Amino acid sequence: METLTLVFSAVTAFLGAGFLTAGTLGLLRFGDQRSRLHALAKADTLGLGFVVVALLPWVGSIGGAAKLVLVWLLALAAASVSAHLLVAKERDVAD
């Protein structure tokens, strides 16, 4: 049981790292700002989510697991708001 959890965590953590790397690659290689924002907001948040899932079995309590998920939700919200702000600034829109 223990090794199964370890394998699960390792696989999901690697998946998360893969998505984070993909997001960074997109940030560096995409042509215009909006594609780069897609890469940042989506791929990075998904990668973080996979890392959180990898850590969940090891937390030991429901409260701790809920806190990790809340952290991920907050990162998702912050990434979305930041991406929106960057596009809005580019388009010079009020909000």
Partner 1 sequence: MSQTEASPIVWALAAGVLLAAVFSLYAHRRLAGVVGFLVLGALLSAYWGIIGAPDVALAEAAIGTGVTSALLIQTVAVLRGPEAPIPFGRIVLGVVGGASLGLVLGVAMVGTAAEGPGPLLTEDVDANLHATGVTHPVTAVLLNFRSFDTLLEIVVLLAAAGIALGMTGKPTGSGPVRRSGILPGFVQLVSPAVLLLGAWLLVAGSSRPGGAFQSGAVLAATLILLHAAGVRRLTATVVLRVLLSAGLAAFVVVAVGGWVTGEPWLWLRGDAAGGITLALETVLSLSIGTTLALLYLSLTTTEEPGS
- Residue 7 in contact with partner 1, rule: CB under 8 A: no
3-state helix, strand, coil in the chain (%, to 5): 90, 0, 10
Give the shortest CB-65-to-partner 1 separation in angstroms.
Answer: 18
CA 86 – CA 34 distance, rounded (Å): 9
Encoded tokens for 49: 């989510």
State which of positions 31-90 bind partner 1 (CB under 8 A): 74, 77, 81, 84-85
> Under the criterion CB under 8 A, does residue 92 sit at the interface with partner 1?
no
Q: How far is the CB of 57 from partner 1 (least distance, A)?
A: 19
Residue 1: CB minimum distance to partner 1, A: 26
Is 28 one of the binding residues for partner 1 (CB under 8 A)?
A: no
Distance, first Cα to last Cα, the chain: 51
CA angle 12, 16, 18 (to 5 degrees): 115
Binding site for partner 1 (CB under 8 A): 74, 77, 81, 84-85, 94-95
